[in-house]
Amino acid sequence: MYTPADNRYETMQYRRCGRSGLRLPAISLGLWHNFGGVDRLENSRAMLRRAFDLGITHFDLANNYGPPAGSAEETFGQIMAQDLRPWRDEMIISSKAGYYMWPGPYGEWGSRKYLISSLDQSLRRMKLDYVDIFYHHRPDPDTPLEETMGALDQIVRSGKALYAGISNYRPEETRRAAKILRDLGTPCLIHQPSYSMFNRWVEDGLIDTLNDEGIGGIVFSPLAQGLLTDKYLGGIPEGSRASKAHGFLRPEHVTDEKLAKVEKLNALAQGRGQTLAQLALVWVLRHTAVTSALIGASRPEQIDDAVGTVANLALSADELAQIERILAGEAA
């Protein structure tokens, strides 16, 4: 029988999510990869247990996580029922809907029909009465934004979610969504965009938007699908994301140019007494608008490394300048 560590809240840092009353851990665990039906259940269980032991209270899912789609939520539901149920009130559990889930006109995008139906399915898979955060996973160009945000408002008012969020929305879309939700009386709690040293689109307006609107940010892929670790310095290892047919990181993404930058960043991290992954997490967390960095993991030791980041979240002006020079392809 699992009993969580007594000291689980002693070292983790918890940060205010926008202008809400909710605090999230600086490091959150995403179940996008390695928790699906193709993965080993006992490894998934070990990672969830270790994460909670280290003070990670936020577990992020979506209807389509797997593979196959839906299976990550099923895995989480099984482990929740067997191990974590007594500590449900200490956890923030999220899910999302927006991408393809089932055939026909009601199985993706942003209609009220799809969002509410999908959340009902997610709750059954996870064996939960409610999720803490429910996101619209991507903007829908064809459904009126008022309908999509109205569905999120309805979901919160029904008690099926405590907070509403959006993901992958551009700055102007975010402002519109935030206004609609605010007028409905269900503020937009959180925005989940991709962000890393190799993917900086949020710096072109979205960070300012989050600060202006009082929305918390939780960034996914802060390690660029593992590129911003020492994993690929010796080539593409078997079992890594770039080696898997169902992954989003492809071998052609692991270029010599990027690896040269990774080597220099790794040296900078070592000089700070950190791993490259820890430096990459510190770098995204430097923004006040970024509440949490959402990590993935394939084994418990990676979670230990990520949580170790909070021991040193400071970056000097000189270190930031060095990182900019490296990313620009200049000498460190």
Helix residue ranges, H only, the chain: 41-53, 71-79, 112-126, 145-158, 171-184, 206-213, 256-271, 276-285, 300-307, 317-327
pLDDT at 271 over 60: yes
Hey, CA dihedral for 120, 123, 129, 132, is it positive or negative? negative
Beta bridge partners of 294: 28, 220
List pLDDT tens digits, range 91-144.
999 999 999 999 999 999 999 999 999 999 999 999 999 999 999 999 999 999
Q: For residue 12, what are the contacts with CB-CB under 8 A and spacing of at least 6?
A: 25, 26, 27, 54, 55, 56, 57, 307, 310
Q: Are 300 and 308 in contact (CB under 8 A)?
A: no
Helix (H) or strand (E) holding 95: strand 92-97
Confidence of residue 292 (pLDDT cuts 50, 70, 90): very high
Preceding omega of 171 cis (within 30 degrees of 0): no
Kindly state the tokens that stand for 289: 């608008």
List pLDDT tens digits, range 192-210.
999 999 999 999 999 999 9
Helix (H, G, I), strand (E, B) or coil at 295: strand
d(CA 315, CA 309): 12
CA 10 to chain centre: 23
Architecture of the domain delimited by 14-229+284-311 = Alpha-Beta Barrel (3.20)
Domain residue limits, the chain? 14-229+284-311
pLDDT at 232 over 90: no
Kindly report the pTM of this predicted structure: 0.94
In angstroms, the Cα distances linking 134 to 14, 119, 156 are 20, 8, 8
Q: Are 290 and 218 in contact (CB under 8 A)?
A: yes
Closest to 139 (Cα-Cα) out of 163, 117, 108: 108
d(CA 170, CA 91): 29
Instruction: Kindly write down the DSSP assignment for every residue of 220-274, as one continuous string.
Output: E-TTGGGTTSSTTTTS--TTSGGG-TT-S--GGGS-HHHHHHHHHHHHHHHHTTS
Tell me what pLDDT residue 233 has: 85
pLDDT at 253 over 80: no
